[in-house]
Amino acid sequence: MMEFMRAFPDDAACLDWLFRQRHSEDGSHAFCPKCDRERKFHRVKDRPAYDCDTCGYHLHPTAGTIFHKSPTSLQLWFYAMYLMASTRCGISAKQLERELGVTYKTAWRMFNLIRNEVMADDTEGPLSGSVEADETWHGGKLRESDKRRIAREGGGPRNGPHVKKRETVFAVVERGGRVVAMHVPSRYGHTLRKNLLQHVEPGATVYTDDYVGYNGIDFTYTHHRINHSGRIYADGHVHTQTIEGFFSLFKNGVRGVYHSVSAKWLQGYLNEYTWRYNRRDNGRAMFLDLIEASASRAR
């Protein structure tokens, strides 16, 4: 908190940071599109802009970012990202509402914009090396009565009439590396394979369980499967414990902090957990990474 206030004591400091990050190495010279050359710029009084000393052209450091024209102050946006980066398991909109003194609706909207716009598409390039792939349900647990009904109707644990009620999350993780997690429309094999091909480099070693949906990837990858339906969970290096670890982190987090997440916002929460997982050894840089992404992922 003190650390944050020293770096960003007010809105002007945040705007200046964005100006330097996006337009000006030294905080005073920037490229002026009207003069078509580098010029000296000054902060415009009472406006979130800088103007060219020569021609008066206005540069808006927030243009294209999630902060642009937001009624919420820039410092509160930065502080929201600081809080998100400082907690290990996330922070709820309710907590943000209290911390920032904004309405619940505003806190909720800020969080979703940060999750959906800033934390999206986190990995650069496909995963490679030793990669585990798995899919999981998101949504309520099946009741015993549902399980019996599904069994009666001939459905297995992965197909059957309950499939529509729950969402599917598919994820791939490099052992000791990055994770990519996505909300997918179904757990049909073609959906899983399509996403696997999109996020994992051909030639990688891929570990999955024995679900039939992973049939047919052996042409592209060195494929090892663990026989989960035979109640075997690890056989030497053949296991999917890394990805299961990520799933349980996500599920515990959602249960503990957010209570429930609807299908509409699921990808945003996956983005947040992915973001944190991919920086797990890098605690101090997380906030800087986040504000840098907010500046560079301008729309």
196-199, long-range: CB within 8 Å, 24+ apart, which pairs? 196/133, 196/172, 198/126, 199/123, 199/126, 199/127, 199/172
Residue 178 sits at φ, ψ, to 5 deg, of -90, 160
- Min dist CB 35 to Zn ion, Å, is 3
- Chosen residue from 3, 10, 42, 54 binding Zn ion by CB under 5 A: 54
Q: Is 197 left (phi over 0), alpha (psi -120 to 50) or beta?
A: alpha
Residue 52 or 118 with smaller CB distance to Zn ion:
52
Residue 34 or 98 with smaller CB distance to Zn ion:
34
- Min dist CB 89 to Zn ion, Å, is 48
Residue 32 or 133 with smaller CB distance to Zn ion:
32
> What 8-state DSSP symbol labels residue 187?
-
Sheet of 222-226: strand order equals 179-184, 167-174, 130-138, 205-209, 222-226
* Letter string b/e over residues 210-232, b meaning 16 or more CB atoms within 10 A of that residue's CB: ebebbeebeebbebbbbeeeeee
- Min dist CB 104 to Zn ion, Å, is 43
Residue 41 or 273 with smaller CB distance to Zn ion:
41
Residue 182 within binding range of Zn ion, rule CB under 5 A: no
How many Cα atoms sit within 13 Å of 197 on the Cβ side? 12
- Min dist CB 53 to Zn ion, Å, is 8
- Chosen residue from 1, 5, 12, 55 binding Zn ion by CB under 5 A: 55
User: How many other C-beta atoms are found inside a 10 Å radius of the C-beta of residue 263?
Assistant: 11
- Min dist CB 38 to Zn ion, Å, is 10
User: What does the per-residue mask of binding to Zn ion show for 3-42, with x meaning CB under 5 A?
Assistant: -----------------------------x-xx---x---
Q: Could you tell me which of 110, 137, 124, 220 has the C-alpha nearest to residue 174?
A: 124
- Min dist CB 37 to Zn ion, Å, is 8
How many Cα atoms sit within 13 Å of 109 on the Cβ side? 11
Residue 52 or 266 with smaller CB distance to Zn ion:
52
Taking CB under 5 A as the criterion, which residues in 84-143 touch Zn ion? Answer: none
Residue 53 or 244 with smaller CB distance to Zn ion:
53
Binding residues for Zn ion (CB under 5 A): 32, 34-35, 39, 52, 54-55, 57
